[in-house]
Amino acid sequence: MFRATTYRRGVFLLLGAVVLLPYTLVAVLLAQAYQASGENVAGAFSAGAVALVVAAIPPFLGGTRELEITAARALLGADLPAHDRDHPLTREARLRSALWFGLHLLGGGVVALLLMIAVPLALLAFVERLGLTNGALAGTDIGPLRSDNRWGWTAVGVVLLVVSVCMTAGLGSLAATMAPVLLGPSAAERVAALEARERQLAERNRLARELHDSVGHALTAVTLQAGAARTVFDSDPAFARRALGSIEDLGRTALEELDAVLGLLRDDASGPTLADVGRLLTGEVDAEVDDVDVPAPISREAYRIVQECLTNAAKHGSGRVTLRITAPDDLVVEVANAVGEWPRTATRSCPRPPVAGPTWC
């Protein structure tokens, strides 16, 4: 009961009381306006209806849910996942958030009343026991409890304090229990998250197998070419030089494949997005980039496409490069450059990320 957890939960409940205060002030003002309205009852009801609609909006907002989740994780110790902004809130999630918001304000109001009424009365009872109130409780008889019964008032003070602490601890424990139910993901959302995670792992396993096959093939070819070059190094230097050139090309291709696949395997949340595309632009790039608003996973994959295309244009093209990124309806990335000298080895296409539509560089 007297642990630090209890006090942190009490602070959480008091935050609800702070949020409840504007609602209480508006309710008082509306009541006074109704009493002073006289015959203009319709105007008073109209003002009350508008205030009710405005007051009902915040509980259903996504920002309110994020603040409640942050406070519950920090003060209640609730195990709640962070809100995923890439997925809109469902109607069920908004309703559960609104219910939590109302319960938070209700619990905060109860704790605030205890602090404003029960605690001062308890202190007054203790002070009366010491005889320092100059008869502040004189004439205050509550049932069998007389105003001159100092031991009785002391017992009342103790009871009030214990009840206040127990109520705060109980409401805080209830809030910590209900937070995962009302702020956490629903059963359907948890199943969807597990399925998405399973698909992600399957895709990464597929990429890992492709990496093993491509790099294993390159290393096998490098080993054969190196062995052949060593065998005929003295008798056929021209063949040895060609073998060394093939080894160089194979190593470069394997390195590019490794870099591309590792880029796809890394955590999606850590990669740059189209908002960071400016770091790729140089003096040789004419860019026309609109302010596009797309989900973060697609934005990260589009950034990698732009990065790979600009890299290939610099390596294998000539002249200036034109880059256009627009999103009239669908996201469109266009990269164009003049054709340079044909490379010694065939270039590979850009790694295709798991987004809709083909991609070439």
Asked if residue 205 belongs to a domain, the reply is: yes
Asked if residue 97 belongs to a domain, the reply is: yes
Query: For position 243, which CATH number holds?
Result: 1.20.5
What angle (nearest 5°) sits at the alpha carbon of residue 348, between those of residues 344 and 350? 140
152 and 296 together in one domain: no
Asked if residue 193 belongs to a domain, the reply is: no
- Parts of the chain with a pLDDT under 50: 342-361
Looking up tokens 């860019």 gives: 287
Asked if residue 288 belongs to a domain, the reply is: yes
Last residue of a domain, one of 213, 233, 266: 266
138 and 281 together in one domain: no
36 and 89 together in one domain: yes
65 and 156 together in one domain: yes
75 and 220 together in one domain: no
**Contact between 273 and 292 (Cβ < 8 Å):** no
235 and 299 together in one domain: no
17 and 112 together in one domain: yes
Alpha-carbon distance of 174 to 170, in angstroms, equals 6
Range 134-141, long-range pairs (CB < 8 A, 24+ positions): none
149 and 231 together in one domain: no
Q: Which residues face 322 on adjacent strands? A: 286, 336
The residues, any chain, with a CB within 8 Å of residue 300's CB and separated by 6 or more, are 268, 271, 272, 273
112 and 241 together in one domain: no
Number of domains in the chain: 3
CA distance to 133, 241, 325, per residue, from 262 (Å): 77, 32, 25
Alpha-carbon distance of 296 to 85, in angstroms, equals 9
162 and 282 together in one domain: no
Asked if residue 142 belongs to a domain, the reply is: yes
Q: Which residues face 339 on adjacent strands? A: 317
Last residue of a domain, one of 237, 266, 295: 266
Alpha-carbon distance of 306 to 303, in angstroms, equals 5
Asked if residue 125 belongs to a domain, the reply is: yes
**Contact between 97 and 212 (Cβ < 8 Å):** no
Domain limits for position 328? 272-361
The residues, any chain, with a CB within 8 Å of residue 285's CB and separated by 6 or more, are 310, 320, 321, 322, 323
Asked if residue 190 belongs to a domain, the reply is: no
What angle (nearest 5°) sits at the alpha carbon of residue 323, between those of residues 322 and 329? 135
What angle (nearest 5°) sits at the alpha carbon of residue 167, between those of residues 161 and 169? 100
56 and 107 together in one domain: yes
Q: Over the chain, what HEC string results?
A: CCCHHHHHHHHHHHHHHHHHHHHHHHHHHHHHHHHHHCCCHHHHHHHHHHHHHHHHCHHHCHHHHHHHHHHHHHHHCCCCCCCCCCCCCCHHHHHHHHHHHHHHHHHHHHHHHHHHHHHHHHHHHHHHHHCCCCCCCCCCCECCECCCCHHHHHHHHHHHHHHHHHHHHHHHHHHHHHHHHHHCCCHHHHHHHHHHHHHHHHHHHHHHHHHHHHHHHHHHHHHHHHHHHHHCCCCCHHHHHHHHHHHHHHHHHHHHHHHHHHHHHCCHHHCCCHHHHHHHCCCCEEEEECCCCCCHHHHHHHHHHHHHHHHHHHHHEEEEEEEEEECCCCCEEEEEEEECCCCCCCCCCCCCCCCCCCCCC
Q: Rg of the Cα trace of the chain?
A: 35
Asked if residue 32 belongs to a domain, the reply is: yes
Last residue of a domain, one of 127, 153, 185: 185
pLDDT value, residue 360: 40
43 and 164 together in one domain: yes
